[in-house]
Amino acid sequence: VLATSSNPNFPVMVWIHGGAFSFGSGNAFLYGPDYLVPEGVVLVTFNYRLGPLGFLSVGRDAPGNAGLKDQVLALKWVRDNIAAFGGNPKEVTIFGQSAGAVSVHMLMMSPLAKGLFHKAIAQSGSALNPWAMATNPKERAFRLGALMGCYTNDTEELLYYLRRASPQKIVDLASRTITQEDVKRSIGLPFVPSVENWTGEDASDEAPLISEDPLTIMKSGKYNNVPLIVGFNSHEAMLFLRRVHKDPNLLQNIDGDFQRLIPVDLEVKRDSEEGAQLARSMRKFYLNDEHITNSTVQNLMDLMSDVMFEHGIADMARLHAAHNGHDSTWLYRFAYDGALGIYKRILGIEWPGSCHGDELGYLFHFGVLNIRLDNSSLELQTMTKMTRMWTNFAKYSNPTPYGTNDAVVGLRWPCLIPNSMTDLPYLDVTNSMTARHNPDAERLRFWDRTYEKYNGPILEGRS
């Protein structure tokens, strides 16, 4: 809606939706502005290309990341036009969840997005998560071509065929490019972002979104350094394990091939004795050397939550704080299990805890749920505090800014300590909100030690 007052200049929050880079949209019936806009911000949502249309990559002529480049174009539109809608183009916060959070992280690392935003919030996703980046995008593109009837090893021939094929057929066949090996390696996303490091004859005329792997970029500190909120939910993997406990065969398959749970970004061969030894250590730590059964499936949930989300998110926060100092990075853990936990309600999940995506109901109005809250409910209190902190961050670059006495939030959210691996201040969102230190401390330490052993230290001169 075009601005009607004489000179409004509200901070802008640009939402990037999730959906495994394969589905979803930014539509208002999913992400209603009802909770955020009354706090004095302009909310922008948009769509971007998904699946193979957004992330297929073969080299120079199709370098990939088209969906992320759509996001850059959306941010340029905001820069050039948002003033007409009452927004301040110099106060833009990008925020997203899951694949949207990975997108936020990718934009932070991309020279294409430099200067287009000034703060960032990444909810339940990081480019350091093992599912976030493609390992062999060209191979998957040729696999898609073969499924469509184009049997070739020639890139030009493949692209000629795909550009004349039905877009709907391309989208419909995308999920069939996932192999049994992908599933065994816990990689269930067919088309995701990739590194554009083409050289020589394969060099693209198009400027790359990123040309190095995310960990290298984060360690260098050479990226768009903006204030950052990053966090995860207490039981992220609940969403993905909701059917496992009802399928004894699947539980048995995972239990019999525990090495499949080793993170794909660890520099250890899964089928080696070293891999077997690591798998035994994982089983001992998470399952106390027991088998995976209905009684231990929640321990498996912790393991998968840590591998798929929590450890990579913690490392993202640590590296960002190391390069940006105090008052640059805030970490949260969302564990509130309330009526606005949208995915648990929609999917009928009965396990306790907060699953992947459950925080969204406390930031956006989801018309599909049609829930009316009592004025004294914990859900309403949580929603009010969450939206206040998120919009405070958009306004002041701090979720609980100094020099204010915000009775709504009622606490100070501590920022991360630069160059510390052992002390992680965070906001714990449960039935109340509490400032704490070191979320899931023993579990994070297990993976800190494991990654340092196989991949080297994440921070030099750490404490």
Q: Mind listing the domains of the chain with CATH numbers?
A: 10-136+195-241+305-455 (3.40.50.1820)
Query: 185 vs 246, which has greater pLDDT?
Result: 246
**pLDDT value for 349:** 84
**Where residue 407 falls among pLDDT bands split at 50, 70, 90?**
confident
Is the pLDDT at 124 greater than 70? The verdict is yes
* Mean pLDDT over each residue of the chain, to the nearest integer: 91
Beta-bridge partners for 232? 333
Mean pLDDT of 177-205: 75
When pLDDT is cut at 50, 70 and 90, the band that residue 290 belongs to is: very high
Give the model's pLDDT for residue 73. 98
pLDDT band of residue 112 (cuts 50, 70, 90) is very high
How crowded is the C-beta side of 458, counted as CA atoms within 13 Å?
A: 30
360 Cβ partners below 8 Å, 6+ apart?
31, 97, 123, 342, 366
Place of tokens 């991360």: 416
Give me 312's structure tokens: 């990579």
Is 261 within 8 Å of 301 (Cβ atoms)? Answer: no
Residue with structure tokens 């090996």?
181
Mean pLDDT of 207-228: 94
Provide the pLDDT for residue 200.
53
Q: Are the C-beta atoms of residues 98 and 15 closer than 8 Å to each other? A: no
Whether this model's pTM surpasses 0.75: yes
State the average pLDDT over residues 235-260: 82
List 59's β-bridge partners, or say none: 62
Q: What pLDDT is recorded for position 405?
A: 63
Q: Is the model's pLDDT at 180 over the cut of 80?
A: no
Q: Give the DSSP per-residue string, 301-356.
A: HHHHHIIIIIHHHHHHHHHHHHHH-TTSEEEEEE----TT-HHHHHHT--SSS--T
Element (H, E) at 34: none
pLDDT of residue 251: 82
Give the residue numbers marked as catalytic. 98, 236
Would you place residue 295 in the very low, low, confident or very high pLDDT band (cuts 50, 70, 90)? confident
